[in-house]
Amino acid sequence: MQEYIERELTEKIHQKLAQLPGATILGPRQCGKSTLAKAIISGIENAVYLDLERPSDLSRLRDPEAFFSIHTDQLICLDEIQRVPEIFRVLRSIIDEDPRNGRFIILGSASPELLRQSSETLAGRISHLELTPFLLSEVSSGDHLPILRNLWLRGGFPRSYLAAGETQSFGWRQDFIRAFLERDIPQLGLRIPGKNLERFWKMVAHLHGQLLNSSKLGESLGVSHHTVRSYVDVLEFTFVLRVLLPYEANLKKRLIRSPKIYVRDSGLLHALLDIESHDDLLGHPVYGASWEGFVIENVLSVLPDWRAFFYRTSSGSEIDLILTRGKRRIAIECKASSSPDLNRGFWNAVNDLEIEEVWVIAPVRDSYPVEKNVKVAPLWKFMEYMKKADPHRSDQV
């Protein structure tokens, strides 16, 4: 394992701690929440860290009011808070009595109880932030295509990405999937048979980037479409599945209304489909959709304030990703080829929507224009542009 990799969320966490009594960092297991929190509190004198999965640390919160009163002048980090969701009520009273900023960092894997409790009792007191697995911008500062391909194949979970070889990385992801289904889901209080959820997750992997048809999936699994929807909610809620909604426009077109589904981490997608190497990926039918999901996750992770959709009509006009914020709209088409070919459906969609900022994200080294307002660009350059460029300019890449 290599040395600590700086996370893009670090600066935002510091900002939130300066503005509010605390920050909640949510994300899937093993995505680096604990490592990030420890790196942050290492620079804060007398900070206290409790891992609530450790019995000795959990016992220190047997009387939470007494514990917080003893450490009133220290920053307290509570890891795996979903183990004691009832503590949110105590935190509310503690914060209301002493609303100084920067008092708490709270870490948690997703759970209905965790989000319900925190959103109801700590609204306006603590900010919620999501930490994803590694992003391309965190592991590469330039157009390093080998790094991009490695991250795409292995995904961004630190132990998968930083593994010594492809076999070790693939094995870690298989172990993660097994532990997620057998241990993490039950610990979150979600009563779903692990085998059922595993079958569903693998079916979703085969449908990665396609429209969600709950009735058809239900027939294949022998369950109702309501049960399928509950499975989708569980995987979405635990940050391993993304549901992308269709873009609604006032056009005289028959628009697709069903959402699209993606396995959020490309490494987990490949493990679910038994894709172990780059050669396996190149020859697999999911190749293009895998790239599409990889691009979407990286883009949306650095643009949390933007709304995201896809666009598709019944006649075949389609754009993979539509980003909106206020009056600004950006269209993104994802192409896994280093020489992307743009079909009629893409150009029809661009004309339908009259979007003036269109990007084609492909594994290329340099950006180049295709037509007015349409550019091909590498993923890292687009992410860099969106973070740094003037929001009203699109000519800096």
Q: Taking the model in full, what pTM does it have?
A: 0.92
Mean pLDDT of 193-200: 89
CATH fit for domain 9-130, picks 2.60.15.10, 3.40.50.1580, 3.40.50.300, 3.40.50.12780? 3.40.50.300
Show Cβ contacts of residue 102 under 8 Å, excluding neighbours closer than 6 positions: 17, 18, 21, 22, 75
pLDDT above 90: percentage of residues in the chain:
72
Answer with the residue of higher pLDDT: 186 or 115.
186
**pLDDT at 394 (0 to 100):** 43
3 state SS of 260: strand
Whether the Cβ atoms of residue 322 and residue 331 lie closer than 8 Å to each other: yes
**pLDDT at 267 (0 to 100):** 98
Whether 393 has a pLDDT exceeding 60, the answer reads no
Can you tell me the distance from the alpha carbon of 206 to that of 66, in angstroms, rounded to the nearest whole number?
Answer: 51
**pLDDT at 147 (0 to 100):** 93
**pLDDT at 390 (0 to 100):** 46
Can you tell me the distance from the alpha carbon of 391 to that of 347, in angstroms, rounded to the nearest whole number?
Answer: 24
Mean pLDDT of 27-44: 94
**pLDDT at 114 (0 to 100):** 55
Band (pLDDT 50/70/90 cuts) for residue 2 is low
**pLDDT at 148 (0 to 100):** 94
Q: What are the tens digits of pLDDT across the range 264-320?
A: 999 999 999 999 999 999 999 999 999 999 999 999 998 989 999 999 988 889 999
Two tokens at 169?
């990385």
**pLDDT at 77 (0 to 100):** 97
Which candidate, 391, 393, 395, places its Cα nearest to that of 303? Answer: 391
Answer with the residue of higher pLDDT: 347 or 81.
347
Band (pLDDT 50/70/90 cuts) for residue 192 is confident
Q: What are the tens digits of pLDDT across the range 263-279?
A: 999 999 999 999 999 99
**pLDDT at 21 (0 to 100):** 95
Can you tell me the distance from the alpha carbon of 272 to that of 261, in angstroms, rounded to the nearest whole number?
Answer: 15
Whether the Cβ atoms of residue 310 and residue 322 lie closer than 8 Å to each other: yes
Q: What are the tens digits of pLDDT across the range 144-171?
A: 789 999 999 999 999 999 999 999 999 9
Whether the Cβ atoms of residue 380 and residue 143 lie closer than 8 Å to each other: yes
Which candidate, 312, 323, 214, 210, places its Cα nearest to that of 261? Answer: 210
Domain with CATH 3.40.50.300 in the chain: 9-130
